Structure 1
């Protein structure tokens, strides 16, 4: 076998990390072809090249699937990974070494005194390999290539479907596009998906955490957002209008660290919400006040859906704008000025309906398409711009706060109560302890956000309609295949290598975890399903 020793796995990782595939770059586009060639080094796929498929993820990018057919069953394990990485600005003068793990690790040793104490200790131990993508998450892909090769040579009596995708780090375009591909492959080959097994690394739960974690679910993330559309005025007559910034300050204060959004399941809690971005939509400087701003808020999920979050968000916004209105009126009364009126709170879908009644569907569609045609906008800026453009033609609604959703949305997923997952978690813990004296801990929701969010979606849930109705770019530049996801009803797990400092200069992978005990335990987990296949 080509990739069956610690040394060969390390060599393969260094090669794959060397393929710079930062999200949104040419390298990300080229990666699919490169990994295709690597898969074709396996004898099985030289004879069965038709089992490799590309799945269009937009902007020239492709997800890649490679299907090993055991020939004895339709039961299949789907191995999920992503091959894009975040960017490398924080590397500074070391950017040229960011994708060369061996050279970067040696160079960091020369600069060891400039680094935090925990990083110094790891460098001195020689137990870690540094580099962008070593931990997050090209080692997961390498492990899945190892399993695919091993299965094809040893003729494992269970099917494996490797799926590796682009753009996990920004919008998960690769995984969202792959949902349709998974359904098509299931139909084409008559497959029964038994388990979705991701290879994201073991993420620390807090700073300096060195525990090894295995996961039976993945946390959700959603971005409730708001456009604050006030009334412009001259700075010399400030109370003749109301600024978007003034309005935004009330909702941001109400949203940040708000415990009403926090969930707790299995003794785990979601982090508190925070504002990720606030933008002034006034394009230039003048003494006219800025009457329109927008803010994006981050909310994590476990059991709640988009409809649940919008309900809490709207309640929060109504109270915040009532407080803002009352304070503004009190100031106007103090200064002897007539206030401009109360602040409305509307959902985007309400604004859209109002605009269509006023202008007609064709003109409103043109306004939306015009904003989406601007190549300088990402999906978040497009969402703000569309909402702002609609308010510009409906200024009679001002002052108003318009609530909408901005991409991306990662629904939470959890299989902690699934019998198969409980059994494999117990097996993983036992093997790691007995073979390597490693104590593994189960986490019910992977805290790093993952592509598992797009499988095993609750088949009875309809709360996603609130996201569809309140996302300005829905159906054009961004969508989520909820109904297709509801057809992928199989449990999820995540077993990956241990590492530290994802998305940092000091991102690093624990070598023994990556090259010895994680491949060993993954093999044992899959082998344990052989008997279940025959049953």
Structure 2
């Protein structure tokens, strides 16, 4: 085993101490620091063109990825190349409250935490001397530090490397994945310039217990996919003094959330593993100010994980859920209206509304058929103007586009419009479909078997990384039709949002995740177990790297 603990610990602290919160100047700073660190390695003094600091594409922020490579000399003719991946941004630090100033200083933070009343498990870890606390320690600067160690090691010992090693540290994973999407261009360029054949990738995002009492340290083949299905709900507005003359879209939104939130029927099982169910991330109406008129429209969206379903599959499943929710809302409205009529002595009228659900693509077809180029030109002009409103994130941008499109609908009776309002992070399944996948799986199994005797806790391999990761943009499991469904049903596609999935398809490298172990990522007590993270992780990644390269050709 490589003696790596002290060096990985040093790199981890160096990186954690830079407050690189996503969408801040800290992302720029950490890229500069990382670039300077690698520049100081003897190999890069001799080979400066093997290291770049690459600006992200179409980015309003001044952000960079850092990429470096080592050409191995053990078999100098080998084109086989392994990519080590890690993101250098973090989420914010507001959850540290009065300790925010120490969130990125692990040593001082630990001392401060020890003086607080801590949960028992946190207290035990704080007192053990084997856990590092702080923002980014787990997610995922210790993983980047592991990759940095391997880059430094092989830059000092290229004669031990049979093939080539590429190091990639990217920004903006925690928001829009612009870092990894930009890096695909650089990886493709290097493939052409240097003749690299990318045979495998190792991501170094964190692993955590799957349930209380879970002692396993997990390694993952492939990753979960993530969608953001969204619903624009129109009602029939009325004065609150005549509430039963209208239909409140917030009632439908409430029924929709009741139907979808935590629903096990919407868990996706594949390869014996099950996704978490969807959960609401936003629920609001579209009224900008207080009035005594009921809302014209409501807007809700949900996190949705997938293992094997496609964006088309999810739309059809959620269409069914939306139809149920709409009908439930009508039934509830009808029952309460009739009860009110009995109480008040008023004569009941017939309820005119019916369940009505369509996708954004279906609505667009109706609008184009009814209005032709007039609608098309108008909505494109509206999107162009909307791009100037920097207060809108892509999700609210989509809602505004659907709201504007709705004005053109010939039939404005209450409806639900179903669409996607964010980036699709595609699922990745690594099953051994081809020679590269088989080699990677074999190398991973052998590496775990070699390392396990040196570590007391079980190291287990699973099929799907359960969180959003940059693995989604390295390999591809979706076909063209699936990706097209995600694009056509996203109102921001081609204006505020665009992903060149062809870059991903061109690269398509089988990927596994070997990362640090810890708890409470994105929380105040974020912490990383040092023995596994600083010793086992670099050695596991190193063995996978060696076995994959040595077993080729």
TM-score (norm 2): 0.91
Is 1:384 the counterpart of 2:383 in the alignment?
no
Residues 310 and 478 in structure 2, CA contact (< 8 A), matched pair in contact too: no
User: Considering only aligned residues, what root-mean-square deviation do their CA atoms show, in Å?
Assistant: 2.0
Work out the CA distance in 2 between the residues paired with 1:459 and 1:218. Answer: 13
The corresponding residue for 2:464 is 445
The corresponding residue for 2:362 is 350
Is 1:108 the counterpart of 2:113 in the alignment?
yes
Give the counterpart of 1:144 among 147, 155, 160: 147
Secondary structure of residue in 1 paired with 2:507: coil
Work out the CA distance in 2 between the residues paired with 1:510 and 1:326. Answer: 53
Structure 1's unaligned 5+ residue stretches are none
Work out the CA distance in 1 between the residues paired with 2:410 and 2:238. Answer: 14
> Compared with structure 1, are the counterparts of its residues 450 and 346 closer, same or farther at alpha carbon in structure 2 (3 Å cutoff)?
same
Alignment: residue pair count:
530
Query: How far 1:36 moved relative to its partner?
Result: 1.2
Deviations 1:369-407 (A, max 9, x none): 223321111111111121112223437423111111011
Residues 202 and 499 in structure 1, CA contact (< 8 A), matched pair in contact too: yes
Work out the CA distance in 2 between the residues paired with 1:228 and 1:530. Answer: 53
Deviates further, 35-44 or 392-401 = 392-401
> Compared with structure 1, are the counterparts of its residues 295 and 520 closer, same or farther at alpha carbon in structure 2 (3 Å cutoff)?
same
Structure 2's unaligned 5+ residue stretches are 342-347
Work out the CA distance in 2 between the residues paired with 1:304 and 1:185. Answer: 33
Query: How far 1:341 moved relative to its partner?
Result: 3.0
Work out the CA distance in 2 between the residues paired with 1:143 and 1:303. Answer: 31
Secondary structure of residue in 2 paired with 1:167: coil
Is 1:258 the counterpart of 2:273 in the alignment?
no
The corresponding residue for 2:126 is 123
Deviates further, 15-24 or 330-339 = 330-339
Residues 136-535 of structure 1 mapped to structure 2, 5 A cutoff:
136-155=139-158, 156-332=161-337, 335=341, 336-356=348-368, 357-358=370-371, 359-394=374-409, 396-417=411-432, 418-458=437-477, 460-533=479-552, 535=553
Work out the CA distance in 1 between the residues paired with 2:424 and 2:394. Answer: 12
Is 1:66 the counterpart of 2:64 in the alignment?
no
Query: How far 1:296 moved relative to its partner?
Result: 0.4
> Compared with structure 1, are the counterparts of its residues 128 and 394 closer, same or farther at alpha carbon in structure 2 (3 Å cutoff)?
same
Residues 244 and 292 in structure 1, CA contact (< 8 A), matched pair in contact too: yes
Residues 179 and 481 in structure 1, CA contact (< 8 A), matched pair in contact too: no
Deviations 1:112-170 (A, max 9, x none): xx111110111111110101000000111111111111111111222111111111112
Work out the CA distance in 2 between the residues paired with 1:502 and 1:451. Answer: 17
Query: How far 1:333 moved relative to its partner?
Result: 5.5
Secondary structure of residue in 2 paired with 1:528: helix
Work out the CA distance in 1 between the residues paired with 2:430 and 2:476. Answer: 11
Residues 427 and 477 in structure 2, CA contact (< 8 A), matched pair in contact too: no
Deviations 1:334-368 (A, max 9, x none): 63134343242121122233444423321111122
Deviates further, 413-422 or 121-130 = 413-422
Deviates further, 367-376 or 354-363 = 354-363
Work out the CA distance in 1 between the residues paired with 2:413 and 2:383. Answer: 20
The corresponding residue for 1:21 is 20
Deviates further, 134-143 or 321-330 = 321-330
